[in-house]
Chains A and B, each alone.
Chain A
Amino acid sequence: MKKLLKKMVLFVLAFAMCMGMGASLTACGGDSGEIKIGVGLYQDSGPAVTATKNYLNGLADALNCKFEFVTLSQTNDEQNKTTAQSLISGGCKGLILTMDGGFTASVLEECRKAGVYLAGYLSDYETSYNNIKNNEYFLGTVVDGSYTGYAWGTHVAERIIAEGHKNIGMIKFPSYAFPHQSEMDQAFREKIAEYNATAADGDKITMTATTELQFQPLAESYLEENPNLDAIFAMCAGVDFVYPTLVKKNKTNIKLYTAGFSTDNDVLNNFGTSGNGCIQELVFSNVEAITYPLVMMINKITGHEFSDNPSEAQRVDSSQIIITNNEQLNLVKTKSLYCTGNVNDAFLSVDDVKALLAENGGTHAKLVEAVQSMDIDDLAALNN
């Protein structure tokens, strides 16, 4: 009986293999040249995810691409490698990953084995960039805003000075996770120091020592230890980690200038001059920035190259939407792809993206310019 069962097992396995091989041949024969690209995001839901998926799916037919979306783990390298391997096995010719880490080198090795390309999206690839920028299978990355944090730090300091706030709380995430927030901190302090050098004694601005949040909400004791704050500069995602504590402690009179964005009505209704007026500045990166790795990848896979193609993979800055008043917020709420999820609201149309491809005369310089021309003024101009 056992022998019979074993024979049956062997027969079915052999049958399955034949079916598989047959299907493989059929699949190869029926391939219409569609480029399958795996997109690994660090979130599985939310407006940014929806907008990214809608944008790419909106481009898919025109670019003859198909996109496979997966969610990456922020703490499990092995799981990320397994996910990347599955995408490659599933026929992806390129991977666009929003995360970098100890796993990147091993994923790139998998890419080499399978002849697949890797590119980054809204990530500076800080851990790996210097080691992989000359790897032929790494095509570069588009950064979440600017690679350095100096510009935004200076900008917020200028606003704080203009608004006349005197006691400022400084909050950021740990440096190991967000090293460039130290640059924002430094730029902010330098600008304030410059102002204090000429200000009258009663007009000078004081700043707390910078508190590092370990990805936990701001402790209520922080507000008791700093009772006279006028404003907080939260270089981290203050909407999620600082604002709830201000609400809980009934301290929404403190003005919050923060990175990050939310489509939550509790946030949007208390921005600028609306509601409690606590939140004064919000920042987010455009999902259309994914155009950079996408175009680089399609060029490589289709065998085309920019006339000004860089000799090593680039780490390209992208422009961000910085919202400083209610008018801008309304514009973003109704006209930005991030908020509406409508591909027709994207900065770049299907034709714009096609024109950026090397085969259609696009250049690397034009591509970089495209992902760096998406700020709030550009959004306003687009909708006028």
Chain B
Amino acid sequence: MEGIKKDKNMQNSFGKVMAYMKSHISDVAAYAGLILCVTVFSVTSGGRLWSSYNISVLLESVCVYMIVALGALFVYSMGYMDISVGSQMGVYCLLIILIVNATGSLILAFAVVLALTLLCGAFNGFVAVWLKLPSIVTSLFLMFVFGGLQMLIIESTGQNSISVNLSLSIMLEPWFILISIVIVAAVVFYFFNFTKLGKYTKSIGANELATAQCGVNTTKWKVIAYMVFGVCVAIGTMFLLARTGSAGKSTGSSYAMDVMLSLILGGMPLSGGMKSKVRSAIIGSFTYALLSNGLIISGVDINMVYIIKAAVFFIVVAISCREKGVFLPR
């Protein structure tokens, strides 16, 4: 009798585990992806993954992804997206360099860029609602505008890339990066989980019509969400610029897709909603940076890195795509 009871208990426990796994498949896939990357690259890199130099390199690259992804969380949780962020960051890097080189003031440069990011955030949020356009269309418009601006600015300088006449090396110190990440993550965590902003953006992602019918001014919160994203873009741009102290025609170009990939790898549903979590940005950024770094230090041909990243991305999306019809962003 006791044996049968034990078997039943084990079956119940196994059933519970399976039920939990099924209902949290995105989270499980995200954690599993990170664990898999850490495990595999720890072995294949011959331990170089854990060298102090590589950890500082990882921190440096994770930092930009994570800060921007934490801001993007508010937009993606609404089921919206912004693909202009890469070209925006490229132009902001150039502007910071030009302003700092002309005035010597980093604060002024940051203030100008912050104002621009807020303006673009407001534009993305408001115009999409006002013209009843999908958010991707307005961000596509901004992407082309900023892409053109980036080319114009760099060609007007007559150089392939321009450098800032100010040392930003303190921003690459591991302690500075860690503190910055922790502060941004803590602020985002608070706003996303304990304020109306987070609740309404998730609610809009879950059911925009129902949210509006509950008396929430969805237009206002959409604009605010995009503006908060803008603040994170401004901060992320500073760290991006600090990496080389220079910017050129393609600076930032890959970040729109990188941030989206980071969020998806972190288990973020592209349809947004209540399943959106801050940890998606954190886990996803680490996984994405680890993938890029780990493959190369493991000796994988750089041409194969893109293919492997695409395969990993496909697998994670395939696992975490729960329902038909709610996968793609609005």
Contacts and interface: CB of A to CB of B under 8 A. Distances in A.
Interface of A: 1, 4-5, 9, 12-13, 15-17, 19-27, 44, 68-71, 73-83, 85-91, 101-103, 105-106, 109, 113-114, 174-177
Interface centre among A78, A86, A87, A91 (most CB of B within 10 A): A78
In the complex, the 10 A-B pairs of residues with the closest C-beta atoms, listed nearest first: A24-B47, A102-B246, A20-B42, A27-B46, A86-B296, A76-B250, A75-B250, A102-B161, A75-B249, A90-B297
A26 B249 contact: no
Contacts of A13: 35, 38
B50 A24 contact: yes
Contacts of A76: 248-251, 253-254
A82 to B, nearest CB: 6
Contacts of A70: 296, 302
Given A77-B251, A91-B297, 5 more contacts: A15-B39, A21-B50, A81-B244, A82-B292, A102-B163
Nearest to B169: A109
B159 interface: yes
B39 A19 contact: yes
B47 A86 contact: no
Contacts of B39: 12, 15-16, 19
Interface string B286-325: 0000001100111100110000000000000000000000
Interface in B133-186: 158-163, 169
A32 to B, nearest CB: 13
A315 B253 CA distance: 33
A21 B43 CA distance: 9
Contact of A9 (B20, B31, B54, B251): B31
A24 B244 contact: no
B47 A68 contact: no
A44 B303 contact: yes
A232 B38 CA distance: 58
Contacts of A26: 46-47
A47 to B, nearest CB: 18
B80 to A, nearest CB: 27
Interface in B227-247: 240, 243-247
B161 A21 contact: no
A81 B248 CA distance: 13
B316 to A, nearest CB: 17
Interface centre among B20, B47, B249 (most CB of A within 10 A): B47
Nearest to B245: A106
Interface in B1-45: 16-17, 20, 28, 31, 35, 38-39, 41-43, 45
A301 to B, nearest CB: 17
B48 interface: yes
B20 to A, nearest CB: 5
Interface string B46-68: 11111101101100110000000
A27 B249 contact: no
A91 B53 CA distance: 11
B10 to A, nearest CB: 14
* Dominant secondary structure at the B interface: helix
Contacts of A74: 160
B243 A78 contact: yes
A76 B106 CA distance: 22
Contacts, number: 151
Interface of B: 16-17, 20, 28, 31, 35, 38-39, 41-43, 45-51, 53-54, 56-57, 60-61, 158-163, 169, 240, 243-254, 292-293, 296-299, 302-303
B262 to A, nearest CB: 15
A5 B16 CA distance: 12
A176 B38 CA distance: 44
Contacts of B302: 69-71, 83
Given A73-B250, A86-B296, A12 B48 contact: no
A70 B303 CA distance: 8
13 contacts: A4-B17, A9-B35, A16-B38, A17-B42, A69-B302, A71-B302, A77-B244, A86-B292, A86-B293, A88-B57, A89-B296, A103-B161, A114-B53
A78 B57 CA distance: 13
Nearest to A38: B296
Contacts of A21: 47, 50
Contacts of A101: 160-161, 246, 248
A74 B250 CA distance: 9
A91 B47 CA distance: 11
Contacts of B163: 102, 105
B198 to A, nearest CB: 21
Nearest to B57: A85
Contacts of B47: 20-27
Given A19-B39, A86-B297, A103 B244 contact: yes
B247 A20 contact: no
A78 B60 CA distance: 11
B243 A89 contact: no
Nearest to B155: A214
Contacts of B57: 85-86, 88-89
Nearest to B97: A102
A90 B302 CA distance: 12
A20 B251 CA distance: 34
Contacts of A15: 39
A12 B292 contact: no
Contacts of B61: 82, 85
B243 A106 contact: yes
Contact of B43 (A20, A90, A102, A177): A20
Given A22-B47, A78-B240, A102-B163, A1 B17 contact: yes
B42 A23 contact: yes
Nearest to B249: A75
A74 B292 CA distance: 20
Contacts of B248: 75-77, 101-102
B159 to A, nearest CB: 5
A148 to B, nearest CB: 20
Nearest to A25: B47
Given A13-B35, A114-B53, A19 B251 contact: no
A144 to B, nearest CB: 16
Contacts of A113: 53, 56
A77 B246 contact: yes
Contacts of B250: 73, 75-76, 79
